[in-house]
Amino acid sequence: MKKKFTQFRWLVAMLLLVTAMAMPKMAWAQVSTRQPANGDGTAANPYQIKIAEELAWFRDFVNAGHKTACARLEADIDMRTVCHPADESNGVAELSWEPISKEDTYWEGTFDGNNKTISNLYIKTSSKYSGLFGEILVLVDVNSSIKDIIFENVKITSTNEFSGVLAGYAKKTDISGITVNSGSINGTHNVGGIVGLSYDTNISNCVNRIPIVGSNNYIGGICGYATDMSITNCANYGDVEGSVNIGGIVGYIVNITLNNVFTSGNVTCGSTNPNCGLVVGYVNEKLTIQGHVLYNSDAKIFYDSAEQTVQTIGEKYYKATITGESNIVGLNSENLKTGEGAWMLNGQQSTGAWGQQLATDDYPVLSDYKVIKAAKGDKDKNGNDTYWATFSNLNSDATLLVPSPRNLTVYNATVSNGKMTLKMRTDSQVAKEEGVLLKTDGEYVNAKANATDGLKAVDYTDNNLVETPATEETINAETGYKLYRLTYNKVSTMEGLGFYLGLVKHADGTVISDDGSQLKATPGKAYLKVSTEAATTTANAAPARGFVFPGDDDTTGIGEIVIEGDAGISGTANADGRIYNLQGQQVTAPVKGLYIKNNKKVIIK
CA dihedral 554, 555, 556, 560 (to 10 degrees): 140
Determine the Cα–Cα distance for residues 332 and 366; give it in Å rounded to an integer: 19
Q: How many domains does the chain have?
A: 2
The model's pTM? 0.86
The reply to whether 455 falls in a domain is yes
Question: Residue 579's pLDDT band (boundaries 50, 70, 90)?
Answer: low
Residue 487 has pLDDT above 50, yes or no: yes
Determine the Cα–Cα distance for residues 191 and 206; give it in Å rounded to an integer: 16
Determine the Cα–Cα distance for residues 406 and 446; give it in Å rounded to an integer: 12
CA distances from 278 to 218, 266, 298 (A): 14, 7, 11
Determine the Cα–Cα distance for residues 313 and 317; give it in Å rounded to an integer: 12
The reply to whether 187 falls in a domain is yes
Query: 245: number of CA atoms within 13 Å, CB side?
Result: 23
What pLDDT was estimated at residue 595?
Answer: 65
The reply to whether 215 falls in a domain is no
What pLDDT was estimated at residue 74?
Answer: 99
3-state secondary structure of 340: helix
- The single-letter code of the amino acid at 555 is T
Least confident of 56-60, 140-144, 213-217, 481-485: 140-144
Sign, Cα dihedral of 344, 385, 392, 493: negative
Residue 571 has pLDDT above 90, yes or no: no
C-beta of residue 552 within 8 angstroms of C-beta of residue 574: yes
3-state secondary structure of 522: coil
The reply to whether 22 falls in a domain is no
The reply to whether 242 falls in a domain is no
Q: How many CB atoms lie within 10 A of CB 384?
A: 11
Whether residue 469 has a cis bond before it, omega within 30° of 0? no
Q: How many CB atoms lie within 10 A of CB 399?
A: 15
Question: Cα Rg for the chain, rounded, in angstroms?
Answer: 31
Which of 210, 237, 270 corresponds to the end of one domain? 210
Mean predicted lDDT score pLDDT of the chain:
89
Residue 232 has pLDDT above 80, yes or no: yes
The reply to whether 336 falls in a domain is no
Least confident of 137-151, 163-177, 280-294, 324-338: 137-151
Q: Are strands 167-171 and 195-199 parallel, antiparallel or unpaired?
A: parallel
Which of 188, 210, 232 corresponds to the end of one domain? 210
What pLDDT was estimated at residue 592?
Answer: 63
The reply to whether 34 falls in a domain is no
Q: What is the largest CA-CA distance in the chain?
A: 134
Task: Render pLDDT for 41-93 as a digit per residue (tens, 0 to 9).
Answer: 999 999 999 999 999 999 999 999 999 999 999 999 999 999 999 999 988 89
Residue 556 has pLDDT above 60, yes or no: no
Candidates 388, 392, 362; CA nearest to 465 is 392
Question: Residue 587's pLDDT band (boundaries 50, 70, 90)?
Answer: low
Determine the Cα–Cα distance for residues 144 and 112; give it in Å rounded to an integer: 11
Which of 210, 231, 264 corresponds to the end of one domain? 210
For residue 475, list its beta bridge partners. 519
Determine the Cα–Cα distance for residues 36 and 604; give it in Å rounded to an integer: 68
Q: What are the strands of the beta sheet with 561-564, ordered from one edge?
A: 375-379, 385-391, 436-440, 408-416, 419-424, 561-564, 600-604, 593-597, 579-580, 586-587
**Percent of the chain whose pLDDT exceeds 90:** 75
Question: Residue 573's pLDDT band (boundaries 50, 70, 90)?
Answer: very low
CA distances from 269 to 239, 247, 257, 297 (A): 11, 10, 24, 18
Span 219-233, average pLDDT: 98
What pLDDT was estimated at residue 34?
Answer: 96
SS3 for 80-102 is: HHCCECCEHHHCECCECCCCECE
Least confident of 85-99, 335-349, 546-560, 561-575: 561-575
Span 454-460, average pLDDT: 96
Candidates 584, 521, 538, 547; CA nearest to 415 is 547
Determine the Cα–Cα distance for residues 251 and 226; give it in Å rounded to an integer: 8
Question: Residue 23's pLDDT band (boundaries 50, 70, 90)?
Answer: very low
Domain that residue 164 falls in: 47-210
For every residue of 415-464, DSSP letters joined together read EETTEEEEEE-SSSEE-TT--EEEEESSSEEEEEE-SS--PPPPPGGG--
For residue 415, list its beta bridge partners. 420
3-state secondary structure of 279: coil
The reply to whether 519 falls in a domain is yes
Query: 254: number of CA atoms within 13 Å, CB side?
Result: 8
Question: Residue 26's pLDDT band (boundaries 50, 70, 90)?
Answer: very low
Question: Residue 12's pLDDT band (boundaries 50, 70, 90)?
Answer: very low
Cα–chain center distance at 330: 17
Question: Residue 379's pLDDT band (boundaries 50, 70, 90)?
Answer: confident
For every residue of 4-55, DSSP letters joined together read HHHHHHHHHHHHHHHHHHHSPP-BT-S------SS--SSSSS-EEE-SHHHH
Span 292-305, average pLDDT: 95
Determine the Cα–Cα distance for residues 490 and 601; give it in Å rounded to an integer: 20
Span 370-397, average pLDDT: 92
Question: Residue 270's pLDDT band (boundaries 50, 70, 90)?
Answer: confident
Candidates 445, 296, 279; CA nearest to 363 is 296
Span 463-487, average pLDDT: 96
C-beta of residue 244 within 8 angstroms of C-beta of residue 274: yes
Determine the Cα–Cα distance for residues 424 and 415; give it in Å rounded to an integer: 15
Question: Residue 572's pLDDT band (boundaries 50, 70, 90)?
Answer: very low
What pLDDT was estimated at residue 553?
Answer: 37
Least confident of 186-200, 480-494, 577-591: 577-591
**Per-residue DSSP letter, 342:** H
Span 451-471, average pLDDT: 96
**Percent of the chain whose pLDDT exceeds 70:** 85
